[in-house]
Amino acid sequence: MGGYFQTRWIGYFVAVATTLIALLVRLQADALFASATFMPFFMAILLSAGIGGLRPGLVAVGLGALLGDWFLFTPRGSLVLEQEQAIQLALYGGMGLAISLVCQWLHTARHRADTMRADISELQRMEDSLRRLADDLSAADQRKDRFLATLSHELRNPLAPIRNALELMKRSRFDAATLDIARAAMERQLVQMVRLVDDLLDVSRITRDKLDLRREVATLQGVLDSAVEAARPCIDEHGH
């Protein structure tokens, strides 16, 4: 908006300056423009309206008509007009108005074209942002699916040993050693399930598609016992 008003004021300045220059050219080449009294002033109108639009063009038209009447028509130094001079001045004013209107239309068309280009650029930026957002959401959704698939698989693993331990406790109600083994197995699997549930509740890990590995010292016997314990239901079911 500031640039628009700045251009408009420049147009007014150009209107005054070019009209005065046109008057000087007309006075210096009076014989050359004898049959075209206002010819130099049309150039002033075209430049003024081309830079500032309709209003500077009208300023150039009005100022040119006033100066032409005062300095070019006889008697000079007077605003009195004869019929032929009035017709000539009216033709000049009509043509000057037409030139100003055409220039204003070109200004408006150029402004609309600039606005449309800016809107198109903004729409393209928004489309690119939406496309990037959609890609990010799709990637996040895929990470979530992988995370939940991994975690659900890990959550199922402790259930079989717990169920097997419960069955063992039912069959050996009065065997303290067997009950201790079953209870220890259930405690180990329950601790593992609690860790997995904690991972599931940590939403940030889902978005990062990350599972934390908790390192600890383990014996080979403990690893084998845990593996056998997890696979015991399938071992018993198939008679291995």
Kindly state the helix (H) or strand (E) to which residue 176 belongs, with its residue range: helix 176-201
Alpha carbon distance 25, 195 (integer Å): 95
Quote the pLDDT of residue 28. 82
Alpha carbon distance 101, 27 (integer Å): 28
pLDDT digits (tens, 9 = 90+) for 174-204: 677 777 777 777 777 777 777 777 766 665 6
Quote the pLDDT of residue 2. 46
Quote the pLDDT of residue 83. 84
Q: Output the 3-class SS for 186-197.
A: HHHHHHHHHHHH
Tokens 């408009």, residue located: 8
Q: For the chain, which ranges sit under pLDDT 50?
A: 1-2, 4-5
- Please give the C-alpha separations between residue 28 and each of 34, 48, 72, 77, in angstroms, as whole numbers: 11, 22, 12, 17
Quote the pLDDT of residue 96. 92
**Count of C-beta atoms within a 10 Å radius of residue 29:** 12
Quote the pLDDT of residue 178. 73
Percent of the chain with pLDDT over 70: 85
